[in-house]
């Protein structure tokens, strides 16, 4: 036994130590086995369907019952819920509390004192005791989850409030006092609006009523002006009997609105009120003339919103009425649209018809269409950046529909003009709208083949004439050459035509200008050298002579540069000064301000991409892009209203013909120089002899 006891103890300890790792391993957090819950299939399906169904709680009925006198007001709720049975707000109000709730729903107080309901079953009912701080009135607001609030207080009256439009329903329960009591009549203030239209007369009666009693009170509205009532808006039920409307008004302030039409030309207030406000307004084609009697007040004092300008307001006392007569006015002729800016761009190519583009920035206030003469021939039209079909009306004019508001009408056109013998004459018509244009501009574009000799637009005329600076340079150059030729021994009378022809040749050809001015500088330098050689040199004279020589050199260089850069016949046209006129970019800025975006007419502006915003339209005319041209001319007017279609007249000369004239001028100068060659040769020989001769001792 002494040996057996230790052996048994060892065996027990070994078994315990052997099972210890297995238990520890089963309880380790690294075990792959997770906790599992076993549910019946029906319960699992119920839970799954609860997550799939929409979670919604609806209170079908909210009823306030009990009694004020016994202090036993109750709140009864019944409704349904689905999904996860969410909690919803049901009632809001100050000075109320709930207690002793029972049923299949929980009622709790949420944020801001709003009562909340938590359903415990898909169909629920709950009943609570309601305590109010006021013993004769309870004001509550049913929340969106409540479909219908109602009252069942034995000694109280349920009064529905005005619907605020946010889904809530305010209501009030007022205690009815038992026993006889004084009943006061309701007081009313009438605000009446009468609108005179060409075909009927409409009215809108707004009657503000105050019921000073604690219970509902009857109130009568008696139409007495031949009204045909079309709609009645009232806070409570009403009935029509014996030509009057009887309303069952709740306590407090209420508003009754009655609308319809009037059959006569007078208004008698439909209710007895101490003061009645009337606003008499009319259509712009009608002018009402009220008969004397009622007192006139400001429309702002009447407190009635009008639909037309120029309404007249009146204040009626008890027993007073308003009568009027109506005069129909004759509307003046109007086009119903204004033209903010007009821009015409004309391009006169070397061959083919003249191309034009006219842009009108319109502000339309009611015109349905616009009509333009079909001269010049239209080829493309767009409204609001969208091309439109070119259609004609019965008179043969171009007819285009208009939309409301600010918009741009773009019209492209073409017209022929005559050419012959190196000249061209054109009388170009411009599209015209029968409305004055605030800003009006015309731009003429010419290719390199044409040079404009004459331009005219509405009294403004321009000719191809040199500028003042060009004439001054020509005069100085001619006098300079005349003095040099006279110094060479040529007679003054003979030197005059030769100097004029040489100056013209300098302006006609750059090569001739370089030769004429160069030879003039050489001869001038020779005469200056002779003058200095015969002077008795002193320091101050040397300084004076150096300054004079520097001034002459600068003058000669400037003359040579001017003649070399502008000494051509076409340079005369380029040097003319045009009066300040709006450019295409300035008119584009006006159009952007009117439209709020970049118009299609901007494609011809510098830096624009032609056709960048021009999509393809099947069945509509194609739009061409006007070339920029080699030269441009601008005309501008303000508040331009043309009685007839305006036109632009131009006379052009071909630059090829101008080149021929240049050659003739240079050739004539050479012929005249050749005829005067003997006198010029003798003068040059004399000048060279004087330059080679030694300086005389006594020369001054």
Of 256-265, 400-409, 655-664, 673-682, least confident by mean pLDDT is 673-682
Q: Are residues 417 and 541 in the same domain?
A: no
Q: What is the pLDDT of residues 363-391, one digit of tens each?
A: 998 888 888 888 899 999 998 888 888 88
Q: Which residue has the higher pLDDT, 356 or 43?
A: 356
The domain in which residue 257 lies consists of 187-328
Q: Are residues 555 and 430 in the same domain?
A: no
Domain assignment present for 653: no
Question: Residue with structure tokens 């821009």?
Answer: 343
Q: What is the pLDDT of residues 449-475, one digit of tens each?
A: 999 999 999 888 888 877 788 888 888
What distance in Å separates the CA atoms of residue 555 and residue 669, rounded to the nearest whole number?
Answer: 24
Is the backbone of residue 469 left (phi > 0), alpha (psi -120 to 50) or beta?
alpha
**Which pLDDT band holds residue 535 (cuts at 50, 70, 90)?**
low
Q: Give me the pLDDT at residue 614, please.
A: 43
Flag whether pLDDT at 357 surpasses 90.
yes
Domain assignment present for 446: yes
Q: What's 579's DSSP letter?
A: P
**Which pLDDT band holds residue 50 (cuts at 50, 70, 90)?**
low
Report how many domains make up the chain: 4
Q: Are residues 365 and 486 in the same domain?
A: no
Domain assignment present for 654: no
Residue 331 exposed, middle or buried by CB count within 10 Å (0-12, 13-18, 19+): exposed
Picking from 328, 347, 366, the residue at the C-terminal end of a domain is 328
Mean pLDDT for 67-84 is 88
What distance in Å separates the CA atoms of residue 261 and residue 227, rounded to the nearest whole number?
Answer: 6
**Which pLDDT band holds residue 478 (cuts at 50, 70, 90)?**
confident
Q: Are residues 195 and 264 in the same domain?
A: yes
Q: Which residue has the higher pLDDT, 20 or 465?
A: 465
Greatest mean pLDDT among 2-6, 312-316, 576-580: 312-316
Domain assignment present for 243: yes
Q: Are residues 353 and 253 in the same domain?
A: no
Residues 6+ apart with CB under 8 A from 122: 80, 81, 82, 85
Q: Are residues 640 and 675 in the same domain?
A: no
Flag whether pLDDT at 699 surpasses 70.
no
Q: Give me the pLDDT at residue 72, please.
A: 85
Q: Give me the pLDDT at residue 591, please.
A: 43
Domain assignment present for 521: yes
Q: Give me the pLDDT at residue 369, please.
A: 87
Greatest mean pLDDT among 36-40, 73-77, 132-136: 73-77
Q: Are residues 436 and 504 in the same domain?
A: no
**Which pLDDT band holds residue 688 (cuts at 50, 70, 90)?**
confident
**Which pLDDT band holds residue 654 (cuts at 50, 70, 90)?**
very high
Domain assignment present for 6: no
Query: pLDDT above 70 covers what percent of the chain?
Result: 79
Q: Give me the pLDDT at residue 613, please.
A: 45
Structure-token pair, residue 696: 């005389």
Q: What is the pLDDT of residues 581-613, one digit of tens each?
A: 344 444 444 445 444 433 333 444 333 344 444
HEC states along 123-192? Answer: EEEEEEEEEECCCCEEEEEECCCECCEEEEECCEEEEECCCCCCCCEEEEEEECCCCCCCCCCCEEEEEE
Say which CATH number the domain at 209 has: 2.60.40
**Which pLDDT band holds residue 161 (cuts at 50, 70, 90)?**
confident
Domain assignment present for 181: no
Q: Are residues 63 and 112 in the same domain?
A: yes
Q: Are residues 280 and 307 in the same domain?
A: yes
Query: pLDDT above 90 covers what percent of the chain?
Result: 32
Q: Are residues 322 and 342 in the same domain?
A: no
Q: Are residues 430 and 496 in the same domain?
A: no
Picking from 265, 299, 328, the residue at the C-terminal end of a domain is 328
What distance in Å separates the CA atoms of residue 195 and residue 533, rounded to the nearest whole number?
Answer: 107
Q: What is the pLDDT of residues 613-640, one digit of tens each?
A: 444 445 577 888 999 999 999 999 998 8
Is the backbone of residue 259 left (phi > 0), alpha (psi -120 to 50) or beta?
beta
Picking from 276, 309, 328, the residue at the C-terminal end of a domain is 328
- H/E stretch holding 400: strand 398-401
- How is 187-207 classified by DSSP, letter by letter? EEEEEEEEEE-SS-EEEEEEE
Domain assignment present for 46: no
* pTM beyond cutoff 0.75: no
Q: Give me the pLDDT at residue 492, please.
A: 75
- H/E stretch holding 249: strand 244-249
Q: Are residues 358 and 276 in the same domain?
A: no
| Residue 606 CB neighbours (<10 A) | 8
Q: What is the pLDDT of residues 165-215, one digit of tens each?
A: 888 989 888 887 655 557 788 999 999 999 999 999 999 999 999 988 877
Mean pLDDT for 293-319 is 90
């Amino acid at each position: 036994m002494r040996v057996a006891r230790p052996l048994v103890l060892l065996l027990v300890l070994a078994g315990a130590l052997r099972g210890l790792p297995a238990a520890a391993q089963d309880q380790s957090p690294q075990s792959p086995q997770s906790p599992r819950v076993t549910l019946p299939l029906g319960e699992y399906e119920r839970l799954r369907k609860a997550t799939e169904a929409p979670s919604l709680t609806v209170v079908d009925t909210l009823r306030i019952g009990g009694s004020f006198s016994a202090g036993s007001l109750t709140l009864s709720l019944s409704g349904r819920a689905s999904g996860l049975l969410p909690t919803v707000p049901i009632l809001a109000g100050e000075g109320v509390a709930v207690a002793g709730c029972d049923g299949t729903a929980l009622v709790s107080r949420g944020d801001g004192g709003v009562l909340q309901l938590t359903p415990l079953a898909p169909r629920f009912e709950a009943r609570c005791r309601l305590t109010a701080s006021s013993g004769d009135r309870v004001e509550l607001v049913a929340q969106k989850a409540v479909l219908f609030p109602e009252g069942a207080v034995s000694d109280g009256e349920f009064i529905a409030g005005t619907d605020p439009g946010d889904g809530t329903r305010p209501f009030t329960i007022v205690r009815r006092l038992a026993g006889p009591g004084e009943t006061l009549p309701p007081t009313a203030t009438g605000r009446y609006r009468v609108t005179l239209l060409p075909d009927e007369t409409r009215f809108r009666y707004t009657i503000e009523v105050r019921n000073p009693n604690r219970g509902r009170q009857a109130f009568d509205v008696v139409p007495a002006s031949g009204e045909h009532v079309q709609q009645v808006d009232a806070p409570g039920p009403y009935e029509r009997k014996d030509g009057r409307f009887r309303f069952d008004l709740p306590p407090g302030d209420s508003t009754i609105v009655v609308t319809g039409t009037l059959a006569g030309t007078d208004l008698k207030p439909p209710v007895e009120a101490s003061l009645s406000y009337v606003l008499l307004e009319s259509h712009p084609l009608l002018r009402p003339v009220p008969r004397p009697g009622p007192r006139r007040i400001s429309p702002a004092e009447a407190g009635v919103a009008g639909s037309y300008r120029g309404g007249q307001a009146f204040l009626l006392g008890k027993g007073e009425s308003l009568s009027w007569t109506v005069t129909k006015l004759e509307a003046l002729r109007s086009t119903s649209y204004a033209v903010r800016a007009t821009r015409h761009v004309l391009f006169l190519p070397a061959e083919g018809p003249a191309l034009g583009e006219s842009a009108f920035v319109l502000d339309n206030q009611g015109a349905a269409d616009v009509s333009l003469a079909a001269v010049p021939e239209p080829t493309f039209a767009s409204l609001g950046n969208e091309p439109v079909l070119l259609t004609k009306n019965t008179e043969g004019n171009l007819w285009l529909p208009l939309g409301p508001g600010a918009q741009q009408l773009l019209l492209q056109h073409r017209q022929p003009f005559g050419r012959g013998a190196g000249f061209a004459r054109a009388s170009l018509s411009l599209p015209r709208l029968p409305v004055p244009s605030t800003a009006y501009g015309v731009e003429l574009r010419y290719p390199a083949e044409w040079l404009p000799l004459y331009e005219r637009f509405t009294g403004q005329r321009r000719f191809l004439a040199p500028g003042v600076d060009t004439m001054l340079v020509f005069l100085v150059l001619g006098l300079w050459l005349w003095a040099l030729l006279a110094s060479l021994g040529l007679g003054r009378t003979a030197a005059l035509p030769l100097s004029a022809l040489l100056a013209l040749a300098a302006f006609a050809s750059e090569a001739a200008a370089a030769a004429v001015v160069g030879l003039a500088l050489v001869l001038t330098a020779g005469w200056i050298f002779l003058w200095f050689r015969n002077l008795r040199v002193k320091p101050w004279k040397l300084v004076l002579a150096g300054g004079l020589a520097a001034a002459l050199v600068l003058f000669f260089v400037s003359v040579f540069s001017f003649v070399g850069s502008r000494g051509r016949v076409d340079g005369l046209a380029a040097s003319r000064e045009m009066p300040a006129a709006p450019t295409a970019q300035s008119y584009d800025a006006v159009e952007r301000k009117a439209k709020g975006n970049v118009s299609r007419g901007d494609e011809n502006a510098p830096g624009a991409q032609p056709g960048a915003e021009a999509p393809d339209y099947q069945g509509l005319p194609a739009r061409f892009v006007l070339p920029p041209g080699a030269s441009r001319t601008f005309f501008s007017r303000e508040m331009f209203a043309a009685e007839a279609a305006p036109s632009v007249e131009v006379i052009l000369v071909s630059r090829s013909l101008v080149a021929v004239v240049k050659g003739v001028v240079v050739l004539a100068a050479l012929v005249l120089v050749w005829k005067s060659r003997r006198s010029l040769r003798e003068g040059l020989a004399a000048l060279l002899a004087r330059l080679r001769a030694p300086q005389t001792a006594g020369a001054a």
